[in-house]
Amino acid sequence: MSLQRFDPTALIASMPASLRYDPERQILLVLLNTGGDDKASGRSAVASIAFTDPVGPAVTRVCAAARQIGATRTLAIVVDDRMEDSPRASLEAGVDVLLAALMEGLSHIAATLTHVWMTKRIAAGSTWWSLTDATDCGVLIDPGHTTAATDRQAKGYTTYPSRQALIDAVSPDRQLCAEVEQWMPTARMRVERARDRAAAEDCWRNHYRRGLLRTLFCIADVAAGEALPPKDLAELAMVLSDQMVLDCLHATASSEYQVHAEQLWTLLLRALAGPERAAPAALLAYSAYLRGDGVVARICVRAALQANTRHFTSRLLLAALDQAVPIAKLPAWTRFGVAAAADLGIDLAPADR
């Protein structure tokens, strides 16, 4: 393991913004491609492993991500509040086993783990130290003042106090769900009648166009700061059950509507408790994946599949996450969404086309 001096203060402090939550009892891995002329040179990825994760699958997942970017170097940060706040502190039982397995797995794919730092928590004033050099230590700056945090805040994204808090932010709100559920029978009846009319009159294009426009109007309402009543949320949930509308909405992930669209998908995840959750969860997962937020993407994919184990889009996204498919290969869904929306007479092309 190389002992070349590298000051990790800013890197460690940026982890909460990169992950969207304050990590606890985890190993964080920064995968770097430092190669020469390869097209992937300069790329990086962040992975996290909880101490309670099964070792084998965790190492496999990290190595898959490393292969996808052609990683040639890996940096690790161990966050464990149980350690003594001292450079002489040692790893807790079990953590050393996980770290050793990671080192071995990464060395086999030439993504050598070169540095390991430890800290009790990622917060202003917390001490960090090197696992391999007791003289190498420092004090963390405020994570909220890092470049990564400032960028996240400017784009309207929240960093949560824990991973569980992030999960809670996209989990059903019991009271809101009950209010929306009261309107679901009426919403289902309306969409069934609308589909019957579309089938009888062979006017599916108009049917899908109305559904897509209704969703875009809701995104505009969110952008304007307007609250959507439970009745509208119930009807919107049924609109998203049309696969064509869902396919079109993948285009919002690369459009000027992206931030507010994600806010709407999040609201729906809070408002729905049944199988209708799968569609907004998949949309939020795709949008998060596309902007490099793999943590949110995986949480949302799991939520989608819990709501509907057969949800086709979500199953594809889960496969992409498990195989660490490069972000550069995902925009095909966006392009399809743009084309599908254009067929309905609606322009969802990126603003910078």
Weakest mean pLDDT among 56-60, 131-135, 337-341: 131-135
Can you spell out the DSSP letters for 101-152? HHHHHHHHTT--EEEEEEES--STT-EEEESS-TT-EEEPPPGGGSHHHHHH
How many other β-carbons are positioned within 10 Å of the β-carbon of residue 128? 24
Lowest mean pLDDT among 41-55, 125-139, 195-209, 329-343: 41-55
pLDDT attached to residue 1: 46
170-209 tens-digit pLDDT: 999 999 999 999 999 999 999 999 999 999 998 999 999 9
- In the block, residue with structure tokens 């919107």: 236
pTM: 0.84
Residue 321 has pLDDT above 70, yes or no: yes
Record the tokens describing residue 226, joined without a space. Answer: 């307007």
- Whether the pLDDT of residue 3 is over 60: the answer is no
Residue closest to 197 by CA, chosen among 184, 188, 207, 205: 207
Highest mean pLDDT among 38-47, 227-236, 304-313: 227-236
- Domain segments of the chain as ranges: 9-126+143-157, 170-343
C-alpha 61/C-alpha 23 separation (Å) is 18
Mean pLDDT lowest among 1-10, 52-61, 246-255: 1-10
Give the integer Cα–Cα distance in Å for 172 and 266: 10
What pLDDT was estimated at residue 99?
A: 92
Per-residue confidence band for 239, with pLDDT thresholds at 50, 70 and 90: very high
Q: Which CATH number fits domain 9-126+143-157: 1.10.530, 1.10.10, 3.40.720, 3.40.140?
A: 3.40.140
For the segment 311-330, the average pLDDT, to the nearest whole number, is 83
- Are 208 and 242 spatial neighbours (Cβ–Cβ below 8 Å)? yes
What does the pLDDT average to over 250-270?
93
151 pLDDT more than 90: no
